[in-house]
Amino acid sequence: MSKKGLLLCVCQGTCPSFQEMDTFEVLNTLRREGIFEWVGLHPQLCADDGDRYLRELLRGAQIDELYVAACDPTMQKKMYRDAFDDVGFPRDKHIGIEIRNMNTEQVIDEIKKAVSQREESQK
């Protein structure tokens, strides 16, 4: 089984599309369930410091896959590709999950669904 990391990005915490979600409840629920090796939070991965954060995190990460719950997965692939390439993290091991306009339970369910679908596709 692959080792997974989860990053939650909340668009500075001010975007209306993230207001129905309890960020810490999402992270704590998934952490307690042991689905991921670790969970983390960043306020805005698409900013310059987000790229630096990804580079530093992935240089030492002992994971096979990185799940990022945030905005549109297609946008994520474009925004993070330089950071992935700089540290040699395979782009196809990034799984983007759209969580905008969801409440806490919906976010947790969406992340679990993404993990489940990924595992099924690898069988």
For the stretch 66-90, pLDDT in tens is 999 998 999 999 999 999 999 999 9
Residue 38 maps to a domain: yes
Structural domain harbouring 91: 4-117
Residue 123 maps to a domain: no
In total, how many domains does the chain have? 1
Contacts of 64 (CB under 8 A, 6+ apart): 2, 3, 4, 93
Whole-number average pLDDT of the chain: 91
- Specify the pLDDT at position 16: 66
**Residue 73 and residue 95: Cα distance in Å, rounded?**
8
Residue 35 maps to a domain: yes
Taking residues 3-16, what's their average pLDDT? 82
Whichever domain contains 100, its CATH number is 3.40.50
- Specify the pLDDT at position 26: 96
